[in-house]
Amino acid sequence: MWGGRFADGPAAVMREINASIPFDKRMWRQDISGSKAHVAMLGKQGIVVAEDVATIDAGLDAVAADYARDGVPIDLDLEDIHMMTEARLADKIGPVAGRLHTARSRNDQVATDFRLWTRDAIDEVLTALGAFQQALLARAEEHADAVMPGFTHLQSAQPVTLGHHLMAYHEMIARDVSRFEDARVRMNRCPLGSAALAGTGFPIDRDATAAALGFDAPTRNSLDAVSDRDFALDYLSSATQCSLHLSRLAEEFVLWASQPFGFVALSDQWSTGSSIMPQKRNPDAAELVRGHAGRIMGCFTALMVTMKGLPLAYSKDMQDDKPPVFEAHDLIGLCLAAMTGMVESATFRTDRMRSLAMSGFSTATDLADWLVREADLPFREAHHVTGRAVKRAEELGISLDSLSIEQLREIDARIDERVYDVLSVDASVASRTSFGGTAPDNVRTAIRAAREPRS
């Protein structure tokens, strides 16, 4: 390709560092689609004659069939998927293949291909997120009444329901969906026709190529179009946030599957054993999801650092934009599939959850609230009274609701028998009826709302 300007070929190391075909070959479908849209536009504008357009279009179909059947070959001399496709096209149709590159550059070509690939990646992630949400909804509905301890500081705080807990992750994933959707809308402008950096003097129709490729419109500035990788950073940012949420649930599964908790048994499909300890059942899938989150964050950081100091317009540094996005996409897909499988197949030990919810004086706040409502105490005074009740129960080695009315009245004479209506874990969760609260009816309402079609 460089024969007109360079007398000598590149050094072997230069060939290797300069070539991106080993990783950008996975954009071959997008490269074919962009080329077909481009040549069709060239024909309609009278820039390339109809006969050559038909020949090029058929040749691109043949190249695509080869790729689909045999994969994309690696040839470092051809550098990237764009030159590889052009070379394969020339092998099939001869010199007319050279007309395909009229009025475009590899700069706008790669920017278009990469946007197309990232848009497809977002669609794949949105499908996987939808499946994960459905798994969460199904298990939340199944366990809308199941009482478990709610934690702050990993200390028993107040009783909640398992359904409410799982719906908390549904909320997180809903935000992830919105982030990916926002990124898709923002990136959906077509760089094709920006050429190297300044546009082209050919009478092209950028609206036509944008429409043919499913973009909302062409990009508005040629300099920005060829050098913009915000869409890739948006993707990585969304994937990073999502991986954080998946990692949090994975960490809970690791804790819950341990013997001290005993809240969940992961299925054989999502567990491994030990090479030396036959009793072990390790939550390795959850641990790997937790670990992969760090790698996805690293991908986001890598691309931010690559882009942070680049002047306009294109620089070769930007060839390194694709590996972190490709890696993050592969990892987030694995993580979503694994977490969906774990949620769908997990056996939640609700009896163990309920038992621990009844320990740790988790209904202490309910006693304080009762004193405010029924005995008209200021909350701070009610807090102190409840603290004395907890201390007394702790001294006796019993739960709050096991204290006799006489023992409670010794602490504060304003307490009467009605207090037992709020001291059980079932009464506690049932009372949390404020919007967004853990009451089972609230959980079911939230599930119904989540299943309603979005406007």
What separation, in Å, do the N-terminal and C-terminal C-alpha atoms of the chain show? 51
Whether 269 shows a pLDDT value over 90: the answer reads no
Query: In whole angstroms, what is the distance from residue 189 CA to residue 116 CA?
Result: 10
Residue 125 Cα distances to 160, 238, 328, angstroms: 31, 10, 11
> What region, left, alpha or beta, does residue 385 occupy, with left being phi > 0 and alpha being psi -120 to 50 degrees?
alpha
Query: In whole angstroms, what is the distance from residue 372 CA to residue 369 CA?
Result: 5
Average pLDDT over residues 184-206: 98
* Dihedral of alpha carbons 191, 192, 196, 201, sign: negative
Average pLDDT over residues 211-215: 98
Residue 421: predicted pLDDT? 82
Whether 227 shows a pLDDT value over 90: the answer reads yes
Whether 16 shows a pLDDT value over 90: the answer reads no
| Backbone φ and ψ of 198, nearest 5° | -115, 5
Q: Which candidate in 258, 267, 274, 402 is catalytic?
A: 274
274 in catalytic set: yes
**73, 35 Cβ separation under 8 angstroms:** no
pLDDT tens digits for range 299-345: 999 999 999 999 999 999 999 999 999 999 999 999 999 999 999 99
Instruction: Return the residue matching tokens 């987030």.
Output: 332
Please tell me which of 117-131, 148-162, 265-279 the model is most confident about, judged by mean pLDDT: 117-131
Query: In whole angstroms, what is the distance from residue 188 CA to residue 182 CA?
Result: 10
Residue 117 Cα distances to 54, 113, 235, 326, 368, angstroms: 25, 6, 11, 10, 57
Average pLDDT over residues 386-403: 88
Averaged pLDDT of the chain: 93
| Structural tokens at position 84 | 């590889």
